Structure 1
């Protein structure tokens, strides 16, 4: 556990040294999304039974932060370890590769939850929308952050080098952001686009967060989303464990 705490302290120190970048990433970018699409556009575009467009897109911005923040932390640790050769130092430390995996997941999950908390506060300040089910918000923030932390580990370490994994994750980010029901609800889609959306994890995360905000509820059954998110996250744990052991146990980069 000392190694995990050391990695968390290291990531916190890195964020403190780049406060401008962290502020832009955690506060400024989501605030712009919420102001432009929620406050300005949202007052002009009705969204059926959900009230207005602001109520539909705001939970989606939380989902975007839960997707991008864990990847930034986990990805920066893995990529800096690859490019600047710090991975050797981690692997030469008297800990197993599972301790390294736990440290990466802890960092990504905590940073994702912190980023989501900031966005939830921004939604309240800018749009005046407050969640009605805080327990569901906490649930989706935790499992969403953990899921995308696991996904970042798998995608970055499964290929021959993290550089190849970085390219793959960059390709995945765009469809998950724009086709995963973040800026619109699943009910707004028509075939065959609704089938495509069901293949993306951000769809379930966004709809679950909409149910937590009780803005007319999500378009997908909440209990299915709750169970499916937990099941998917748990299935990714052994996959991430296998990928880390396979790639780092015999380190050849």
Structure 2
């Protein structure tokens, strides 16, 4: 009996070691590919927020005499003008776009005619673990994107941005949860949509949830549009934006911290479950 238990224990340990090495191998492979394409990745991450910031927080304030204000910023009481409102929102957009692009776009190719996904799932890992690796790797890219967007959103506006970290622990938690959530959203989209329709999704789904994700305005500024204020609560991007807003620009009105963390965890669990379920279905089909 003792011998059987020892054999089972050793087998379980060997299986865990194999899974760990296989998971690390997938991560190293993806990191190597990212390293070769680092310049295009950085350009893709920085271009949209750079142009938005340049036009709306640098060019337009100079055209209007340098006031630097914006009706949304005035309504929210932003001390630093529109740049203060945009800082957390653009970081959320960078996290979201990077996470989705890191998963959904490669899946469109891997599930295509060539079925490149079959090479990945042949590694000694459960199918769910292969899907989880994609989420974790995309989260790393999203964290890099946030680090790239922050100095752009902080230094480009013509008026000083009133940013202050109220809690480093809360900021770190929001960044990690938001990055994982973006990857889970990318996995869900990438497995739910046919490869030839992936481009359409960015126009039909990604753009609407961005503009309705409290990116360019605080959730508190929707007070006079109650139907919209409650309607956007089904949008996971809202909690990314509000979490970063509560962390970096606490002077602006924002959701309660507990609600932000709870909803980020809820959407992360929901989209991870949907994404892994869809990934398994597409792989075995």
TM-score (norm 1): 0.86
Question: Which of these residues, 69, 87, 90, is aligned with residue 44 of structure 1?
Answer: 69
1:3 to partner: Cα distance: 3.0
Question: Which of these residues, 111, 122, 141, is aligned with residue 175 of structure 2?
Answer: 141
Residue-by-residue CA offset, 1:183-229 (whole Å, 9 max, x unaligned): 11223333233233222111222122111113423432222112211
Aligned positions of 1:93-112 closer than 5 A:
93-112=123-142
Q: Distance in 2 between matches of 1:136 and 1:218?
A: 17
Aligned to 2:204: 171
1:65 corresponds to 2:123: no
Aligned to 2:185: 151
Aligned to 2:254: 219
What is the aligned residue count? 249
Q: Distance in 2 between matches of 1:125 and 1:2?
A: 42
TM-score (norm 2): 0.77
Bigger Cα displacement from structure 2, 62-71 vs 116-125: 116-125
Rg larger in 1 or in 2?
2
Aligned to 2:266: 231
Aligned to 1:132: 165
Question: Which of these residues, 134, 152, 159, is aligned with residue 122 of structure 1?
Answer: 152
3-state DSSP of counterpart to 2:234: coil
Q: Distance in 2 between matches of 1:3 and 1:77?
A: 20
Residue-by-residue CA offset, 1:118-153 (whole Å, 9 max, x unaligned): 212323333454441332222221111111211221
Question: Which of these residues, 213, 216, 228, is aligned with residue 180 of structure 1?
Answer: 213
Asked whether the equivalents of residues 97 and 245 of structure 1 are also in contact (C-alpha less than 8 Å), the reply is yes
Q: Distance in 2 between matches of 1:19 and 1:242?
A: 31
Question: Which of these residues, 21, 24, 40, is aligned with residue 21 of structure 1?
Answer: 40
Q: Which runs of 5+ in 2 are unaligned?
A: 1-19, 62-67
Aligned to 1:78: 107
Asked whether the equivalents of residues 11 and 73 of structure 1 are also in contact (C-alpha less than 8 Å), the reply is no
Q: Distance in 2 between matches of 1:110 and 1:20?
A: 16
Residue-by-residue CA offset, 1:15-69 (whole Å, 9 max, x unaligned): 3333442221123332222232234446132524222211111110011011100
Bigger Cα displacement from structure 2, 11-20 vs 84-93: 11-20
CA shift in 2, pair 1:236/1:19, >3 Å? closer
Asked whether the equivalents of residues 154 and 240 of structure 1 are also in contact (C-alpha less than 8 Å), the reply is yes
Q: Distance in 2 between matches of 1:146 and 1:99?
A: 15
Q: Which runs of 5+ in 1 are unaligned?
A: none
Q: Distance in 2 between matches of 1:158 and 1:27?
A: 28
3-state DSSP of counterpart to 1:47: helix
Bigger Cα displacement from structure 2, 177-186 vs 63-72: 177-186
